[in-house]
Chain A
Amino acid sequence: MNSSAANSPQEFSTPTGALLEVRNVAKRFGSTEVLKNISLNIASGEFLTLLGESGSGKTTLLRLIAGFEQPTSGEIWMSGERLDTLPPYKRRVNTVFQQYALFPHLSVRDNVAYGLRVKGISAAEINGRVEEALRMVKMLDFAGSRPSKLSGGQQQRVALARALINRPKLLLLDEPLSALDANLRKQMQSELKSLQREIGITFLFVTHDQEEAMALSDRIALLRDGALEQVASPREIYAKPATAYTAQFIGQTNLLRGEIRRGIATCGILRWPFEESDGSAIFSLRPEAIRLCADGKRQTTEVKFRGAIRQQLYGGATELLEVDCGNGQFLRVRLPASGPLTGDHEFIFAIADAIRVQE
């Protein structure tokens, strides 16, 4: 694991630990408010993912950091230096573009050398560094090829080498894997992750794919309609979603809407003790938190209910059941694959697994 202990969120409250600070940044395009008062710190060496649906503002935030757009208000700082007032070519930030944006008139070698050439670095040093960068992404054999002769995955690698050769403090990746097919995507994910560990450069990764975000990131920043919904490590964001939106967006969940009265939470047929003030409440209960209750026994920390299996979706290692609890209440249950199931069954879940979330 990375030595910077990027998983502990307390680290980022102190400005000294942050490589990049986004301070109250807002962005409007005409009358559309694309980003609303975003504040976010990225630690040095961290792999942070901006996750969100299309139109959530994640690419706009990336473009503000790269310098292709100017924030309407707010500031961006990097290593104690104001960043948002600098033109893109003066920022120690490089970008891997969604469609790679390789220069079609230049060979792979010249594409990778581009950043060094415009800085007037000597030819000898350029040759050495280009070779090193191409070796790192296993593209040395293609140095003389034109980008159009390469496959998507190969173009992806060249784009990475081209961005990394400038030794940026921060690498921005704008949905870099979205153009690849599923298998190649998985492979590139793991290559990307090990590359990031190897070189120790801070990665800011944009994606709409929550599985990808979970697999790669030290922390995930979930954006919704231009505002940050939650920023946390993948494990924390999955186990303790702050809002109903987060719970539904990251993985699958059952959202239980009900109310709390005199220390009892009631959601449809489900009831359990819950010591909080009275009022309506929403709980997130992951399908895998529910299991079959074969012996009918229940401990005081558990909730038992009865339901009829309406549908069973086989998923290899697991089965996803749709359980009808009566009164129009349906719950999704994920079980280890155990053969076809029908009819009424008793199910059980731990009270601690029902996470109260905000609307």
Chain B
Amino acid sequence: MYSRAYKSLVSVPPLLWVALFLLLPYALMFAHSFWAVQQGAIVHHWNLNNYRTLFSKPLYVEVLFRTMRIAASVTLCSILLGYPLAYFLSFHAHARKELLYQLVIVPLWVSYLVRGYAWKTILGSDGVLNGFLQYLHLTHAPVAFLLYSPFAVVLMLTHIYTPFVFLPIYAALEHIPRPLVEASHDLGANSFQTFFRVILPLSMPGLLAGATFAFLLTLGDFLAPLLVGGPSGTMIANVVQSLFGAAFDWPLGAAISVFILMLTISLLFLSELLEKRWVYK
């Protein structure tokens, strides 16, 4: 048994850390969201105006919906790329499995910023892609929508988050006992039926975890819109950033942050609930 003193010695520092750097900032943010700005100063005047502004001003509502649309698109695209990849690796790659796995993981070691600038180089007016299209005489002038658009944001974030979606799906597929697949074939199911009746249902927890990753990470992203999004690709985190910065409206920024936080927590909760339904022990 450990002594009381030892137990407090090991548990107090992390608790302090959480309290100081997590709970306290959240409490401050929560409080700010009910305050106001008057004549360039924050006044502790409790009210709900910030939340009213968030839900009534078309700009914020529009950005909020766009953010969710982008997050949903990134999630869908990452699953469409990540699931087949994970399936191929787990069931058909055989000896090349290790190598391919490493190739999927390697991009995670490259800085986010570097990958962002790479997309800028590829998608820009005088970028690699436009140059190529013109070289093939498919276009005569640079295609403008490639860069500084929601499309560019979705493309870049899909590229970045696909490994995050791939990993839990791959882990789930690796955990499916192979005799189950053989049993399915043995009972008369072809590969297609086996996939939809056995493999997909048993990989749902991994798919869900991957989707949750991609959606939530995109929801809070502000670098991709900054690098490749342009005005039409602005997301909610950019709004928060400007409210806390140039606009100096901390209370409204805090209200938006609280809303995003609540959204995130609800989604995590929902995903947890669904996962419990899909895990068979």
* Residues of chain A at the chain B interface (Cβ within 8 Å): 66-68, 87-89, 93-95, 97-99, 101-105, 114-115, 117-119, 146, 148, 162-163, 166
Interface hit among B26-34, B68-76, B166-174, B182-190: B182-190
A-B contact pairs, 28 of them (CB 8 A): A66-B186, A67-B185, A87-B190, A88-B182, A89-B185, A89-B186, A89-B188, A95-B182, A101-B179, A101-B182, A101-B183, A103-B180, A103-B184, A103-B198, A104-B280, A105-B278, A105-B280, A114-B197, A115-B187, A118-B184, A118-B187, A118-B189, A118-B193, A146-B280, A148-B280, A148-B281, A163-B187, A166-B188
Residues of B within 8 A of A66 (CB): 182, 186
For B186, give its contact among A94, A104, A105, A117 (CB under 8 Å): A94
Residues of A within 8 A of B180 (CB): 101, 103-104
Interchain nearest-CB distance for B196 vs A (Å): 10
B201 contacts the other chain (CB 8 A): yes
Number of residue pairs A-B, CB distance < 8 angstroms: 72
- Which residue on chain A has the smallest CB distance to residue B187? A115
Which 3 A-B pairs rank lowest in CB-CB distance, beginning with the nearest? A115-B187, A101-B179, A104-B280
Question: How many angstroms from the CA of A195 to the CA of B60 in the assembled complex?
Answer: 71
B177 contacts the other chain (CB 8 A): yes
Question: How many angstroms from the CA of A114 to the CA of B197 in the assembled complex?
Answer: 9
Chain B interface size, under 10 / 10 to 19 / 20 to 34 / 35 or more? 20 to 34
Question: How many angstroms from the CA of A103 to the CA of B200 in the assembled complex?
Answer: 12
- Which residue on chain B has the smallest CB distance to residue A112? B187
B202 contacts A105, C-beta separation under 8 Å = yes
Interchain nearest-CB distance for B113 vs A (Å): 42
Q: Is the interface of B mostly helix, strand, loop or mixed?
A: helix
Residues of B within 8 A of A117 (CB): 197
Q: Beyond the given A88-B182, A101-B180, please list 6 additional residue pairs across the A-B interface where CB-CB is below 8 A.
A: A67-B185, A94-B186, A95-B183, A95-B186, A97-B183, A162-B187
Residues of A within 8 A of B198 (CB): 103, 105
Interchain nearest-CB distance for A69 vs B (Å): 10
Interchain nearest-CB distance for B194 vs A (Å): 8
Residues of A within 8 A of B278 (CB): 105
Interchain nearest-CB distance for A111 vs B (Å): 9
B280 contacts A118, C-beta separation under 8 Å = no
- Which residue on chain A has the smallest CB distance to residue B201? A105
Question: How many angstroms from the CA of A127 to the CA of B185 in the assembled complex?
Answer: 22
Residues of B within 8 A of A166 (CB): 187-188
Interchain nearest-CB distance for A123 vs B (Å): 16
- Which residue on chain A has the smallest CB distance to residue B176? A104
Question: How many angstroms from the CA of A162 to the CA of B183 in the assembled complex?
Answer: 10
Residues of B within 8 A of A118 (CB): 184, 187-190, 193, 197
Interchain nearest-CB distance for B255 vs A (Å): 43
Residues of B within 8 A of A93 (CB): 186
A97 contacts B188, C-beta separation under 8 Å = no
- Which residue on chain A has the smallest CB distance to residue B177? A101
Known contacts A103-B180, A104-B202, A104-B280, A88 near B197 by CB under 8 Å? no
Interchain nearest-CB distance for B37 vs A (Å): 54
Residues of B within 8 A of A101 (CB): 177, 179-180, 182-183
Known contacts A104-B280, A105-B202, A114-B184, A89 near B179 by CB under 8 Å? no
Interchain nearest-CB distance for A87 vs B (Å): 7
B179 contacts A88, C-beta separation under 8 Å = no
Residues of B within 8 A of A115 (CB): 187-188
Question: How many angstroms from the CA of A118 to the CA of B193 in the assembled complex?
Answer: 7
For B185, give its contact among A87, A104, A146 (CB under 8 Å): A87
Question: How many angstroms from the CA of A68 to the CA of B184 in the assembled complex?
Answer: 11
For A89, give its contact among B189, B197, B202, B281 (CB under 8 Å): B189
- Which residue on chain B has the smallest CB distance to residue A97? B179
Contact with A along B136-151 (1 / 0, CB 8 A): 0000000000000000
Question: How many angstroms from the CA of A119 to the CA of B184 in the assembled complex?
Answer: 12
Interchain nearest-CB distance for B176 vs A (Å): 10
Residues of A within 8 A of B201 (CB): 105
Question: How many angstroms from the CA of A148 to the CA of B281 in the assembled complex?
Answer: 6
Interchain nearest-CB distance for B237 vs A (Å): 38
Residues of B within 8 A of A162 (CB): 187
- Which residue on chain A has the smallest CB distance to residue B280? A104
Question: How many angstroms from the CA of A103 to the CA of B179 in the assembled complex?
Answer: 10
Contact with A along B180-223 (1 / 0, CB 8 A): 10111111111001000110011000000000000000000000
Question: How many angstroms from the CA of A86 to the CA of B183 in the assembled complex?
Answer: 16
Residues of A within 8 A of B183 (CB): 95, 97, 101-103
Residues of A within 8 A of B197 (CB): 114, 117-118
